[in-house]
Chains A and B, each alone.
Chain A
């Protein structure tokens, strides 16, 4: 533990023009949806949400979007290449109730996908909004339809499914149906709006957050959030709605590697 476990990439799935899923041989023990792995490419190390959990075939997967030098370097790797994995870390999603609304924006679908599969396995009814800017970037539609979820693709440009933002569709669904729980991951601005909706509809909700991370052990303080000080790597990355009420920086700003604030 707390030391990279170097494994070979077993399989690479090209999900969209910018997102690939990397499958690793991994004995699944306590890993649950919503937890993350510190991924080391021998140059740098970044937190990545677990997107595939397959205890039957001993496989774990990370879905990674090309956004900068680190993710570009990882995207250039081939099956059989090595990566270092440390974890799992953090508090994952808690599955409760009998009908849930899951919302994933862009690559925020990564932790949502295994959560939806697990919920269905437990017999829950799941409505899932998978949102992207355009049709090509929609993640996991087939995979999660196969699992038995009611998948509602949403695109900003209307090229596929609902035309508009995930938050607009969520609002529509919440006004029509009764859910026991909402789970979300995506851009923080989107999650802030979903949080506001969960407050308005008095719906218990869970949100997977992201902050700059270094140690992932709850020591360095890099991912502490104002005003309560909670660490995204230990108390998070999944926070409940009532906890978010205490996180004043949620939806407003985050800090970089030096600790300087940047507004969303």
Chain B
């Protein structure tokens, strides 16, 4: 009943572990897989090892957190070894980042054999200059990167977009024209910041950090709804999902599946099972026979 297929990946349910939450080792991805996710997205990795920003890298805000981890990762060579150690019980999407089309396609071709699909991170709001949202705010560069990666690999290519643009549909169309197989909407919001009162100091070492958690859900939902009308490729919805009702909202807005992240901090990996049970109960109540038939119902 919960099965969905996206980018030729057969998922037992429409939930995915979102990029950047756990996911930097085979161990944590396998753990997520055993906790009932439909598929996993790895933490983003690049060509070379990157320590990320110094701590503090995280701070609470009303309705979630802001983070500036700074794309820390051990580099593609070590990450390939982690991917090799995956149990393979659920599909794996490898999230990758770079600054140029060549950098993206080099990483992509080096890990193609070890992942079911790629998710291009052109949307991290706290990345180093030239990376992340610096790319995703530029439609032409986004299209060029998608084109280059598509040429380099055979596995499906998903593009994760930033909401921090004037018109997200413009970027979505560019990614689609570049040939992407699906879109993930949205990366964290902002960036935002927090200042400590006693010392008048910004808390994050990077000053600014991407906002995630329940507070960003309405923005994410709007992005999915808006983009659904403009593109043909399937959409993975992500942003502030904490329960089954949030997940259904995203599916009704046009998402074929949902990625879940920050709520793991409140409820642990158990949350995936809870959400799946909730969706299934809801579908029975409403008489939906498949997730597929629920996608985009809010548009009818």
Q: Which residues of A contact B (CB under 8 A)?
A: 1-4, 6, 38, 40, 42-46, 82, 84, 86, 213-222, 224-231, 234, 255-261
Contact = CB atoms under 8 A, between A and B. Distances in A.
Given A221-B25, A260-B49, A214 B57 contact: yes
Interface of B: 20-32, 43, 49-52, 54-60, 65, 67, 69, 72-75, 78, 194, 196-199, 201, 203, 205, 261-262, 264-265, 268
Contact of B199 (A42, A227, A231, A256): A42
A226 B25 contact: yes
B22 A4 contact: no
Contacts of B52: 214, 257-258
Nearest to B203: A4
B196 A229 contact: no
Which 10 residue pairs of A and B lie closest in terms of their CB atoms, listed nearest first? Answer: A229-B31, A2-B60, A45-B55, A221-B22, A259-B74, A229-B27, A6-B198, A257-B51, A229-B28, A258-B49
B54 A44 contact: yes
B31 A44 contact: no
Contacts of A215: 57-58, 67, 69
A222 B50 CA distance: 13
Contacts of A217: 58, 65, 265
Contact of A259 (B25, B65, B203): B25
Contacts of A255: 25, 74
Contacts of B57: 214-215, 220
Given A84-B196, A229-B32, A231-B22, 16 more contacts: A1-B60, A2-B59, A4-B56, A4-B196, A38-B55, A44-B54, A214-B58, A214-B69, A219-B21, A219-B264, A220-B22, A221-B21, A226-B25, A227-B27, A255-B74, A259-B78
A42 B30 CA distance: 36
A225 B268 CA distance: 16
B74 A258 contact: yes
A97 to B, nearest CB: 28
Contacts of A227: 27, 30
A259 B20 CA distance: 13
Nearest to A234: B268
Contacts of B56: 4, 38, 40, 45, 86
A259 B73 contact: yes
A218 B21 CA distance: 8
A229 B54 contact: no
B67 A221 contact: no
A221 B23 contact: yes
A6 B199 CA distance: 8
A260 B78 CA distance: 8
Contact of B194 (A3, A86, A234): A3
Most chain B CB atoms below 10 A, which of A3, A82, A228, A256: A3
12 contacts: A40-B55, A45-B55, A214-B69, A214-B72, A215-B69, A216-B58, A217-B58, A217-B65, A224-B25, A255-B25, A257-B72, A261-B78
Contacts of A226: 25-27
A46 B25 contact: no
A84 B55 CA distance: 12
A224 B265 contact: no
A188 to B, nearest CB: 17
Nearest to B55: A45
A222 B54 CA distance: 13
Nearest to B49: A258
Nearest to B25: A224
Contacts of B31: 224, 228-230
Contacts of B196: 3-4, 6, 84
B59 A3 contact: yes
B265 A214 contact: no
A214 B31 CA distance: 20
Contacts of A4: 56, 59, 196, 203
B67 A218 contact: no
B32 to A, nearest CB: 8
A212 to B, nearest CB: 10
Contact of B265 (A45, A218, A229, A257): A218
B60 A258 contact: no
A2 B27 contact: no
Nearest to A230: B31
Contacts of B27: 224-229
A244 B269 CA distance: 20
Given A3-B203, A215-B67, A220 B51 contact: no
A222 B203 CA distance: 20
Contact of B205 (A3, A44, A221, A222): A44
A227 B25 CA distance: 9
A218 B266 CA distance: 9
A4 B204 CA distance: 11
A2 B65 contact: yes
